Amino acid sequence: MNHYSGWKNALIAFFLLLSALYALPNIYGSDLAIQISSAGDASIGEQDLATVENTLSTNTVDYKSIGLSDNRILIRFESSQSQEQLSTQALLKATLSRNYVVALNLAPSVPQWLSDLGGRAMSLGLDLRGGVHFLLEVDMEAVVAMSIDRYYNELRSLLREDRLYKGIRNEGTSLLVTFKSEESKQQGKSLIRGELLDMQIVEGSESELQLSLEITPAAIKASKSTALKQNITTLRNRVNELGVAEPIIQQQGSERIVVQLPGVQDTARAKEILGAVATIEFRLVDEKNDLQLALNTSKVPVGSKLYYFKSGRPLLLKSSVIATGENITGASSGIDQNNAPMVNIQLDGPGGRSMLETTKEFINHRMAVVYIENKVETVLEDGEMVKLRTKTQDIINAATIQGTFSNRFQVTGMESARAARNLALLLRAGSLSAPIEIIEERTIGPSLGADNIAKGFLSVLVGFALVLVFMAWRYRVFGLVANVALTLNLVTIVAVLSLIQATLTLPGIAGIVLTVGMAVDANVLIFERIKEELKSTNNIQKAISAGYEKALLTIADANITTLIASIVLFSFGTGAIKGFAVTLSIGIITSMFTAIVVSRALINLIYGGKKVEELAI
């Protein structure tokens, strides 16, 4: 009685040692760091490392360490060198070519031997650890330009039915329409005022057979607001695809978006994904006209456009688009039968119908997939910061249509598996409605302030200490056993949080404080039951055994009901509420183990199999 076999004790000891091992990474902090990775799929090697080291040495940059691992260079700084980190990032951006991504990072300083064993520090929220802060600016000029393009097409369709116009010209923020006659001009004015309510005639701009039109201020404001909201939604989808826990994505002013990513490690990929304005278009290859003639004469046939593969090879494509990224409802990357990377595409109803009609009519013809990406960067020219807009339109592949298909098919020709994954992510998350530029990037400290963080940890320590003192005074030796079990419970909670990389926030600390009280409550029930058993029997060993066995059902009932409540909080709550529910759920499970199994093992070692005349309880 009151004796665990050797293998049980060994198993408990092994589990506790494992918990201590995986809780250990949390005593190490994080270093401010700069991460340099390839903008494409080229590998970064020792030569790149030597170039960076030479740059840092030439400019006498003070840093902690520099190393090359996982195809990236990581430069570490002391925690007090935030200004050095920012100035070094600016230096490396100016020195290195655009083939590199230079991003800020927070790098855990876990020893290599512990990292090799899978040891990782807890994933902390922005209010505890900080993370990476991006301030993004939406290119509102591009929003207006896209609105002008949209109204250009609508205006052409409206006036084309009655063949009223002679020509329509895009003049920046306005449209200039030339009519065939005065009569057609008046008819056109009536149609525009009746159908295109968001277009207005510019006062004093009318000439004999011309009208100058511009978008109304209200329509421009609505377009900008819609673009901003759509970009926020798309960024949320992209961040979710990156797997960032509890991100903050919110509007700032009328043109900017704040993105805060707690505990992000691969900041280069986050930066690459957040800023990419990418989509794809499906077009038929123009196989009737002579490509070489178009190149030699610089005259592209009507109804066609000239595009290029990434290798520089040209190809004539039809101007009409079969489907675009806006028609894509699903995308996933994979490997085809030839072990080449590819992307599985799923289209919506209109896109699927268009694809079906095209593939039926043009079987055995070629169809090209064009990858389009818009970027905005601020560069220094002649002492002034100017926005540099670039647009790349690369043909991914041009394959022969060998059979009819509609809304499900594959796109091959990816240059690498990573390119396929990135394209699938961008298409799955949706394309941005307007280009955005990262105008500020920095690591951030706790959003609630160091004072609140200190108070949060202090609450755990004070609560823990008071419980220890009370238990030692009230239950003597049994109280000390409960204190050991409670300490091991905290270690186990930290280990589990570290292993599953659950995000710990200040509300999560509140959940741990609550767990401290609930964990010792189980021992109180057991010890009080043992006291009652001692009053009815002189057999101390039997009283100890009965105390643990009879209190078990009550403890299980109390903890299971609390666990159900925490699961409900996690299921229906968001943000801080989920953080509280996670730590509470883990604490309930670990506390039952330490309060019942571990404390019983310790009591067995002290009193089991011994002739005891009195219990210190």
Whether the predicted pLDDT of 499 surpasses 80: yes
Q: Taking residues 55-77, what's their average pLDDT?
A: 87
Query: Phi and psi dihedrals of 79, rounded to 5?
Result: -65, -20
| Amino acid 203: pLDDT | 65
Q: What is the reported pLDDT for 446? A: 53
Answer whether residue 45 shows pLDDT above 60: yes
- For the chain, the farthest-separated pair of C-alpha atoms sits apart, in whole angstroms, at 117
pLDDT at 242: 60
Task: Say how far apart CA 567 and CA 578 lie, in whole Å.
Answer: 9
Strands 304-309 and 384-400: parallel
Tell me the DSSP string of 216-263: -HHHHHHHHHHHHHHHHHHHHHHHHHHT-SS-EEEEETTTEEEEEEET
Highest mean pLDDT among 283-297, 529-543, 567-581: 283-297
Of the chain, the percentage scoring pLDDT greater than 90 comes to 3
Position 285 scores a pLDDT of 92
pLDDT, averaged across the chain: 81
DSSP for 460-486, please give it: HHHHHHHHHHHHHHHHHHHHHHHHHHH
Among 51-65, 443-457, 501-515, the range with the most confident prediction by mean pLDDT is 51-65
Buried b (16+ CB within 10 A) or exposed e, 94-103: ebbeeebbbb
Using CA atoms, how far apart are residues 252 and 94, in angstroms rounded to an integer? Answer: 28
The residue behind tokens 């330009």 is 145
- pLDDT tens track for 278-309: 678 889 999 888 888 888 888 888 888 899 98
Q: Which residue has the higher pLDDT, 269 or 17?
A: 17
The string of pLDDT tens digits covering residues 225-250 is 888 888 888 888 777 656 565 678 88
Identify the pLDDT of residue 237.
74
Cβ atoms within 10 Å of 117's Cβ, excluding its own? 14
pLDDT, residue 450, reads 58
Q: Strands 366-381 and 384-400: what pairing?
A: antiparallel
Q: Residue 580: its pLDDT value, please?
A: 85
Separation CA 165–CA 55 (nearest Å)? 61
Q: 57: Cβ–Cβ under 8 A, 6 or more apart, which residues?
A: none
Residue 316 pLDDT class (50, 70, 90 cuts): very high
pLDDT at 241: 59
Section 101-115 average pLDDT: 79
Inform me whether the pLDDT recorded for 204 exceeds 80. Answer: no
State if pTM tops 0.75. Answer: no
Report the pLDDT value the prediction gives residue 40, as an integer from 0 to 100.
57
What confidence category does residue 275 fall into, taking pLDDT thresholds of 50, 70 and 90?
Answer: low
Instruction: Taking residues 190-206, report their average pLDDT.
Output: 77
Better-predicted residue by pLDDT, 356 or 460:
356
pLDDT of residue 605: 82
What stretches of 23-70 adopt beta strand conformation (E)? 30-38, 65-69
The per-residue pLDDT for 37 is 81
Contact residues for 529 (Cβ-Cβ < 8 A; gap 6+): 546, 547, 548, 550, 551
In this prediction, residue 110 carries a pLDDT of: 84
Helix then strand count (H, E) for the chain reads: 16, 23
- Average pLDDT score over residue span 112-119: 84
Does the pLDDT value for residue 1 go beyond 70? no
Res. 265 pLDDT band, cuts 50 70 90 = low
Stretch 559-577: mean pLDDT: 82
pLDDT at 556 over 60: yes
Confidence of residue 427 (pLDDT cuts 50, 70, 90): confident
Q: Looking at the predicted structure, is the pLDDT value of residue 88 above 70?
A: yes
Q: Which residue, among 220, 223, 219, 242, has the nearest Cα to 231 in the 3D structure?
A: 223
pLDDT tens for 358-405 read 999 888 889 988 888 766 666 666 767 666 767 788 888 888 888 888
Using the predicted structure, report yes or no on whether residue 574 has a pLDDT greater than 70.
no
Question: How far is 288 from 267, CA to CA, in rounded Å?
Answer: 47
| Residue 342 confidence class, pLDDT cut points 50, 70, 90 | confident
Q: How many C-beta atoms lie closer than 10 Å to residue 310's C-beta?
A: 12
Q: Which residues contact 326 (CB under 8 A, 6 or more apart)?
A: 279, 431
Q: What is the chain's alpha carbon radius of gyration, rounded to the nearest angstrom?
A: 33
Could you give the domains of the chain?
6-24+449-607 (1.20.1640.10), 29-109 (3.30.70.260), 141-221 (3.30.1360), 278-413 (3.30.1360.200)
Alpha-carbon distance of 569 to 563, in angstroms, equals 10
Contact assessment for residue 565 and residue 587, using Cβ atoms and an 8 Å cutoff: no
Give me the sheet containing 131-138, strands edge to edge.
Answer: 248-252, 256-262, 131-138, 436-444
The pLDDT of residue 447 is above 70: no
